[in-house]
Structure 1
Amino acid sequence: MLFPPDKVVVSIYNVITWKNLTVHCKDKHHDLGTHVLQYGGNYKFSFKPNFFARVTLYFCRFSWEGGSHSFDIYDEDRDDCSLCVWNVLESGPCMHYAKYDECFAWKH
């Protein structure tokens, strides 16, 4: 994408079987707070990416009974989407596309 979109929407789905997922996302300047998602639940947030430099980065801590990990849920260098849909599994987050999912390892 030559120019970043005017607005990006990040949508996170809890697909960890029958467990609640606690999501806490932030960037360098904004703390989006803590949200608890039931199995199948969804949390969305939106923002305007940096037009002049590809530096927008949102990171999240994901916690559930038996696990806690972090991941950069939006990295402007990696992600080329205006609607970024993520399915969170115990094994890691997967970016959902129309024809496939791209799964990633947890950051730590």
Structure 2
Amino acid sequence: MSAPKPPLQTFSKSQLLRGVEREIAMRGAVYARRVAKGQMTEDAAESEIELMRTVRKAIERSVLTDEIWSSEGLVGYAPKGADEAPTKAKKNAQSGLSVFDPK
């Protein structure tokens, strides 16, 4: 028998923004190392960071509604009216892309 899942934790707007800023900084450092080693192009690194900036802008505008969870934790959020957003976020989570955990 599996253990019961803990209740979903809610986050304030300021907590989410701090989490995103921390994630941008951490990813920026990781991507800079990858670019320096030739493991990633500058365009790819900037594209990934721009994705996190988009999340930050959405939080700032308070348009986030649905949390999207995977076995790895919080994957992302579905903006209002974005029917395909949960599917795309889940697909990214399965491939290891764009996993965001604001803890």
* TM-score of the two chains, using structure 2 as the length reference: 0.25
Bigger relative contact order, structure 1 or 2 (CA pairs below 8 A, ≥6 apart): 1
Structure with the largest fraction of strand: 1
The structure carrying a bigger helix percent of its residues is: 2
TM-score by length of 1: 0.25
The structure having more radius of gyration, on CA atoms, is 2
